[in-house]
Amino acid sequence: MKVIDALKKGKPTLSFEFFPPKTPEKEKHLFEVISQLKAFHPDFVSVTYGALGTTREKTFHWVKEIKQKFKIEPVAHLTCVAATRESIREQIAELEEMGIINILALRGDPPEGTPEFTPAPDGFKLAKDLIAFIKKHHPEFCLGGAGFPEGHRDVPNLELDTQYLKEKIGAGAEYIITQLFFDNAFYFNLVERAKNMGIVVPIVPGVMPITSLNQIKKMTKICGATIPPKLMERIEKAGDDNEAIQEIGVEQAVAQCKELLAAKVPGLHFFVMNQAGPISRILKEIKFGHPR
């Protein structure tokens, strides 16, 4: 099933994002996490793609596992990082052979310590170019793109950021999944800006429960998201007490999700960070995707 078809069903979708583990122990753990979260009947799940394509094989392995063993619709992340046109063709052919029909097409982040993004020779500089390339040569794929409620860190202002979002959709993106945010006003403002610019595709909010101080500092630095001062004060006050931080994170996510669902968002997409516990608690609390 294509993601866009799930989004057209008239009720909010539920989806999760996983990242490929690096060790056999963590692979076993992810298998258990997916098994637990499958009980909430997600409409689809996505698997991230590491810096410089370092997890390509593992990404593709997990989308295949998710489709064949878990019978959940997978979405493969694909990025421009270190990718030539030929390597993109090869990856798409591989996904096609596995029966994968959903791709989240992203520019991707430059390697850590690199000040700016540099495309590979004969590669793509922008996500919209990758999207256009896939759509031209493989129109059968359902393509999603990324949205940035607080604006992409490489774009000087929100107006240009929204214009670029429109260009990604014009290139062939059928839906948008946003980067994480902790103040719903950023998401609602993005949706309003998009509407004013004639964007009508579903914009699915991305939610990340906070589970540790170091983790959330790292993630917000990478994507340019901000943490509300009062929320940050509570987290820092908890110090090294990860259990207390998780409680704060669950409480924050529950409040966010309730407000988003009340506003009739097209779905909720959770950045799981390969942890089932916090997500399960949130979904049970908001009575969303609850096991039937």
Query: Token pair of 31, please?
Result: 């298998």
Asked whether 176 and 201 are in contact (CB, 8 A), the reply is: yes
Which of the residues are catalytic? 17
3-state secondary structure of 69: coil
Q: Each residue of 116-145: pLDDT tens digit?
A: 777 778 889 899 999 999 999 999 999 999
Closest to 253 measured CA to CA, from 201, 217, 216? 216
Asked whether 20 and 191 are in contact (CB, 8 A), the reply is: no
- What is the pLDDT, as a whole number, of residue 22? 87
- What is the pLDDT, as a whole number, of residue 115? 65
3-state secondary structure of 239: coil
Residue keyed to tokens 């009062």: 230
Q: Each residue of 183-229: pLDDT tens digit?
A: 999 999 999 999 999 999 999 999 999 998 888 888 888 788 999 99
Asked whether 95 and 63 are in contact (CB, 8 A), the reply is: yes
Q: Which residues of 71-102 are buried (b: 16+ CB within 10 A; e: fewer)?
A: ebbbbbbbbbbbbebeebeebbeebeebebbb
Instruction: Give the whole-angstrom CA distance, residue 104 versus residue 60.
Output: 13
- What is the pLDDT, as a whole number, of residue 184? 98
Structural domain boundaries of the chain? 3-209+266-273
Q: How confident is the model at residue 90 (pLDDT cuts 50, 70, 90)?
A: very high
Which fold does the domain 3-209+266-273 belong to in CATH? Answer: TIM Barrel (3.20.20)
Residue keyed to tokens 């540790």: 212
Instruction: Give the whole-angstrom CA distance, residue 198 versus residue 195.
Output: 5
Instruction: Give the chain's mean pLDDT.
Output: 92
- What is the pLDDT, as a whole number, of residue 83? 86
Instruction: Give the whole-angstrom CA distance, residue 207 versus residue 179.
Output: 8
- What is the pLDDT, as a whole number, of residue 292? 43
pLDDT of 53 over the 60 cut: no
**pLDDT greater at residue 111 or residue 107:** 107
- What is the pLDDT, as a whole number, of residue 6? 97
User: Which residues, 6+ apart, have CB-to-CB distance to 239 below 8 Å?
Assistant: none
Please report which helix (H) or strand (E) contains residue 159, including its range.
Answer: helix 158-171
**pLDDT greater at residue 22 or residue 191:** 191
Query: Token pair of 282, please?
Result: 């949130």
The phi-psi region of residue 271 (left if phi > 0; otherwise alpha if psi is between -120 and 50; otherwise beta) is: beta
Residue keyed to tokens 């704060």: 248
CA–CA distances in Å: residue 289 to residues 2, 37, 40, 283: 19, 10, 5, 7
For residue 182, the cross-strand partners are none
Q: How confident is the model at residue 177 (pLDDT cuts 50, 70, 90)?
A: very high
What value does the mean pLDDT take over residues 237-246? 91
Share of the chain above pLDDT 70, in %: 95
Asked whether 50 and 20 are in contact (CB, 8 A), the reply is: yes
pLDDT of 111 over the 90 cut: no
